[in-house]
Amino acid sequence: MMQAEAGAPDRLAGNLAEVALGYQRMLLADPSQPEALVGMSLVALASRQHRAAVAMARSAVSSAPQIGITWVTLGQVLKAEGRMGEAELAYEKAIRMDGMDVLARLGLAELRMAIGRPEDALEHYDFALGRQPAMAAAHMGMGHALACMGRNEEALARYEQALALAPRTAEGEFAAAFILARTGRPAEAETRYRRAITLRPDFAAAWMNLGCLLREQGKSLQAEASLARAVELRPATVEGWLNLALLMREQNRNDAAEQHLRKAFSLEPGNVPVLMAWCQFRAGEQDMAGAWEWLRWAQARGPSHPEVVNTHGILLHLEWRLAEAVEQFTRAEELGSLAATSNRGNSLMDMGRMAEALEAHDEAARRDPQSAGAAYNLALTRLRLGDWTRGWEGYEARWRFREVHPTPLSFHCPRWRGEPLDGLRILLHAEQGLGDAIQFSRYAPLVAARGAHVVLQVHEPVERLMRSLAAVRAGHITIARLGAVPPAFDLECPLMSLPAVFGTTVETVPWGGPYLGADPSLRAERSAQTVPSSRASRIGIAWAGNPRYKSDAQRSTRLTTILPLLQRFPRFEWISLQKGDATDQLRQLPDDVRVWDGASADRDLADAAALVATLDLVITTDTSIAHLAGAMGKPVWILLPHLSDWRWMQEIETTPWYPTARLFRQSSPGDWGGVLERVAAELERFWLDHRGVAHGRLPGPHA
């Protein structure tokens, strides 16, 4: 409470029962003794007996209206009871009395903070510090006001000043940690939260904030321990259970997440954030009916709650009701939601309104500069629209965005950012999908050419394939497997950060010809499998990517989608390059359609490369096969959804990444039929160009 911070009698910091007993003795001797009445009022306030505190303070004022402390105390207890207008009058009365203006000003400042007017609080904190510059409580209060106004560095300076005046104060360390976390300095924030906990081991809020910070850094085990401690200390704190539920969801421990959500709901059934957490949980479980039901309950309790309106937009977006989603996101922005601006940009993007989407994402990043999601969405939009100079720089935000990297890698060596490399060893590591590793491995030889020995760490399915890089064969690059301990290195850099290091633009994409190829012995094995065929050309097909990719439903299709193409062109030798569960669809083809299963038994993409080397053309959706064929310099036609991945940009029919690739885009969402019509027309031309050229074929159709 304010009086203790500002130097109230030390006895109030002790056992309240003993303090109260002392004041009661004083009142027995003199029932109108002002000091005892003030003291009893503050004891009642500390005990959360607000009515009794007000009664005692009023008695103190009646007994000694000429003493300012009685009016300050009355202001304090009225403020605690939420009677802000009366509290303000009491403080103003005290200000008019000599000697009590500092404490009254502090009280008024706290009142302004309580009603959400931090800018008004500043003048009162300023006045108090002008009279007493060494008052730690005033520095802390000013820090809070500045933090509420977004003036983070000024707030941090005030907290540090308060700590200099009152060292080893848990609340000061907590406040400094909060600002450090907000301004993107997680390591420093973690240190300060831990310091606050050391000073006050039962500091539940510090345990909870530390847990959230650790979760954001991907330190799941430590985060769980911190959050569990927070709810152990304060089991009635809904926020602790919600954060635990979120952590469990991120780890796919959905039963535990649901258990924590039930606990939060049992504590506060009408709490809007609890209802929204349930809504998001159900949506994550693909239970849209359940998600809508929870949203309706939340709307009944908080129809103008920014997160309720924002989540309404999210559910509409998930159901592809994009225009309605934009309306809700716009309303959520007006209500103060920062996330809604970026979400609006995503809906506009899916609607094909690219200029408006870019404007929205740019605005989102300006409004919330610490948001990794906003920065990441802006970067992808810039890359998609060809602004690669700013796009690659912003793309580094993916390391802070947990939807991309739930558990970012941590290294005990510097990140390479383009400085000289002579004689150093550098680890280049893959980070996302197999196609990404193939696409960006072209940079590894460029790094080796700068005088470094490169350790290229990739997923197991592409490990053998990467040995076909010329720089690997020359001994300049060592291949290592992700998950295994690599050889020693001095610097590190993710593969997908290399375009930023090299300043890649649309015009300067590295391409000196095919950079990956088939192992000669594996290709010979594939060639030995073939028998003479009268058919003119061999075409490889793939139709489905990794089903765990969040946008796979848009980029992938089913074999039946391209069945009309197979039926229309029986003259070609159709070879399946598909792997995974989607290969089962080969068994469902009509008897008169022959597609040879060339890949389901492959060990990895080196085997696939050996087969691709024997083909004349590859037709595929946006899969790793598209990147493989492109990196090998093989003609490849890539079938893309209406809103394709950022790397394929917009509207263009070719890509600077792979000169032998052609892009066939949907003209509207889900329009694979239109894509296949254009592919069929091009296949007619392909037939005319390649007819009469005999090839072998794989023995026997798939059963």
Region 250-278: what's the mean pLDDT?
95
Both tokens of 494, joined, read 């993710």
Q: How is the beta sheet containing 595-597 ordered, strand by strand? A: 595-597, 573-576, 538-542, 617-621, 636-640, 661-665
Supply 483's token pair: 């998950």
Distance CA 428, CA 447 (A): 9
pLDDT of residue 10: 38
Task: Calculate mean pLDDT across residues 630-656.
Answer: 95
Which homologous superfamily is 304-400 in? Tetratricopeptide repeat domain (1.25.40.10)
Q: How far apart (Å, rounded) are the C-alpha atoms in residues 225 and 237?
A: 16
Q: Is the pLDDT of residue 407 over 80?
A: no
DSSP state of 630: H
Pick the CATH number of 520-697 from 3.30.460.10, 3.30.420.40, 3.40.50.2000, 3.10.20.30: 3.40.50.2000
pLDDT tens profile 483-540: 899 999 999 999 999 999 999 999 999 999 999 999 998 888 887 765 445 556 899 9
Confidence of residue 2 (pLDDT cuts 50, 70, 90): very low
Mean pLDDT of 563-590: 93
Q: What is the pLDDT of residues 52-68, one digit of tens each?
A: 878 877 887 788 888 77
Give the pLDDT score at 697: 42
Which numeric CATH code is attached to 2-200? 1.25.40.10
Mean per-residue pLDDT over the chain, rounded: 89
Query: CA–CA distance from 566 to each of 51, 573, 672 (Å)?
Result: 83, 10, 15
Provide the pLDDT for residue 119: 85
Q: What is the pLDDT of residue 5?
A: 35
- Residue 380's pLDDT band (boundaries 50, 70, 90)? very high
- pLDDT for residue 40 is more than 90: no
H/E stretch holding 640 reads strand 636-640
The residue ranking higher by pLDDT, 462 or 96, is 462
- pLDDT for 411 equals 86
pLDDT in tens, 624-641: 999 999 999 999 999 999
Q: Above 70 in pLDDT, residue 232?
A: yes
Contacts of 540 (CB under 8 A, 6+ apart): 575, 576, 577, 598, 611, 612, 615, 617, 618, 619, 620, 625, 629
Percent of the chain with pLDDT over 70: 94
Six-digit token string for 6:
């500002």
Which position has the higher pLDDT, 325 or 102? 325
Read off the pLDDT of each residue in 14-30 and give the average, rounded to a whole number.
Answer: 73
Contact 353, 340 (CB under 8 A): no
pLDDT: which is higher, 50 or 137? 137
pLDDT of residue 77: 78
Residue percentage of the chain with pLDDT more than 90 = 66
Which 3 state secondary structure label does DSSP give 542?
A: strand
Q: What is the mean pLDDT of residues 652-663?
A: 97
Please give the Cα distance from 671 to 666 (Å, whole number): 5
CA-wise closest residue to 280 among 304, 312, 306, 324: 312
Q: What is the pLDDT of residue 309?
A: 97
Average pLDDT over residues 111-119: 80
Return d(Cα 672, Cα 619) in angstroms, integer: 13
- Measured CA to CA, the distance from residue 548 to residue 317 in angstroms comes to 20
Q: Give the mean model confidence (pLDDT) for residues 290-296.
A: 97
615 Rama class: left (phi>0) / alpha (psi -120 to 50) / beta: beta
Distances (CA, A) of 334 to 6, 273, 330, 363: 40, 19, 6, 13
Confidence of residue 265 (pLDDT cuts 50, 70, 90): very high
Give pLDDT, residue 99: 52
Distance CA 513, CA 425 (A): 26
Sign of the torsion angle spanned by Cα atoms 53, 56, 58, 64: negative
Per-residue pLDDT, 699: 40
